[in-house]
Homo-oligomer: A and B are copies of this chain.
Amino acid sequence: MASVVVTGTEQLLLLELFAIFVSAKVVGELFERMSLPSVLGEILAGALLGPYALGWIPTSDVIHSVADLGAIFVLFSAGLETSPAELIRIGGKSMRVAAAGVIVPFILGFAYMKLSGSPSSEAVFVGAAMVATSVGITARIFGDLHLLSTETVKIILGAAVFDDILGMVMLALVGGLASGGVNWLHIGILIGEAAGFALFMLFVAPRIVHRIEPRVEQLSMQNASLVVALAICLLLSWLAVKIGMAAIIGAFFAGLVFADYAPQWNLFPRVAGITEFLAPFFFFAIGARLNFSVLKGEILVAAAMISVLAIVSKVIGCGLPVMGQGWRVVLQVGTGMMPRGEVALIVALVGLQSGIVSQSTYAIVVVMTAVTTILAPPALRYLFRDEIREHREERVPEPVQL
């Protein structure tokens, strides 16, 4: 038992916490300096220092629990950035882009794995992992390019949020498959549950929060708003697991419920502190489960093929609903929807831990995530070159007027 007393266990745990946190952040920093997403660096740190490569840093049960808490807060933070009111308002185009961008990758991913001889259950996991665009990475890229106010970018971000929700529903399904096998009645119930959960969170829960809000302000405790948000986050994470979904689905929707109150309740810096502390353990743990040595021969070919399909399928799927606006917009939207992230990795992890997904297939998904995330920024910089130039030209007059 770890404790505040001077014990070997505690010393080891503190050393593990320190080593994981610092190595993840150092490799993340190196990636940032190469204009690559730091998340990939944190995963690479785990892959390099974890049991399959150098084996310098063991990951104990406690570390895995901390990593799970990290995943919960990564998704809680993502939810906090997702206003349900705005989502309902955007509606239309973003939703069509999202839906088509979910169906095409899933079918292509499933078909490829099935044709290359994988069992259906494993193919379902790969398809599901190809579904969700990473809102976080996408928003970050467009933010860096100063394009967040562009019409096309707004559609992309709205669609990315919708397909995160669809990705969550998909995860609920594959999670159900993981625990119960393929059973159509069971799948029907799960779809109903997941859809009901999502609709309740989008339409009902924000009204409940609106009602209790004045009472939260009357509480005598310090940081009452944060405490209430954290309690709901833990409650919904538990509830999600209880009804057969992943904990992070509950966490994401908990964030979504508080999104409209986050600025007023000053939730961002305080939740960001928790996420900043816990998230590196999650991404490190993702990497620590990656066995690089399986990436050779046909697995490497499969990883390359799945990566290509992940790109092509989003361009086709997300491009279809905006065909009327010309090829340039099709490519912009499709490429903008390309980067996969935490949801893809979690789907793969759920599959790996339940024994349905093999080490090789897990590696394929991690490679696909890395490839789509690495290629997106330069591709977008090229495809949006006119908008970027316009933006620069708009800003040029400023110094002249001084």
Contacts and interface: CB of A to CB of B under 8 A. Distances in A.
Nearest to A33: B220
A74 to B, nearest CB: 11
A29 B219 contact: yes
A54 interface: no
Closest 7 CB pairs of A and B: A270-B273, A32-B220, A273-B273, A14-B238, A18-B234, A5-B353, A269-B269
A246 B4 contact: yes
Interface string A228-268: 00110011011001101111100000000000000000100
Given A29-B219, A223-B272, 5 more contacts: A6-B178, A14-B238, A18-B235, A62-B62, A226-B276
A222 to B, nearest CB: 8
Contacts of A272: 223, 270, 273
A346 to B, nearest CB: 6
B276 A270 contact: yes
Contact of A276 (B11, B68, B230, B245): B230
A234 B17 contact: yes
Interface stretch (A20-28, A109-117, A156-164): A20-28
Given A4-B246, A248-B4, A18 B238 contact: yes
A300 interface: no
Contacts of A90: none
A235 B25 CA distance: 14
Interface of A: 1-6, 10-11, 13-15, 17-18, 21-22, 25, 28-29, 32-33, 38, 61-62, 64-66, 68, 71, 175, 178-179, 219-223, 226-227, 230-231, 234-235, 237-238, 241-242, 244-248, 266, 269-274, 276-277, 346, 349-350, 353-354
B175 A230 contact: no
A291 to B, nearest CB: 17
A244 to B, nearest CB: 6
A340 to B, nearest CB: 17
A81 to B, nearest CB: 14
A25 B224 CA distance: 9
Contact of A246 (B6, B66, B276): B6
A247 B65 contact: no
Contact of A226 (B68, B238, B273): B273
A329 to B, nearest CB: 30
B5 A350 contact: yes
A338 B358 CA distance: 61
Contact of A247 (B4, B33, B354): B4
B241 A6 contact: yes
Contacts of A64: 1-3
B273 A269 contact: yes
Contacts of A17: 234, 238
A242 B11 contact: yes
Given A4-B68, A220-B32, A14 B247 contact: yes
Nearest to A238: B14
A27 to B, nearest CB: 11
Nearest to A140: B222
A362 B71 CA distance: 37
Contacts of A21: 230-231, 234
A131 to B, nearest CB: 17
A189 to B, nearest CB: 15
Nearest to A35: B220
A303 B248 CA distance: 46
Nearest to A353: B5
A384 B103 CA distance: 71
Contact of A65 (B33, B62, B241, B349): B62
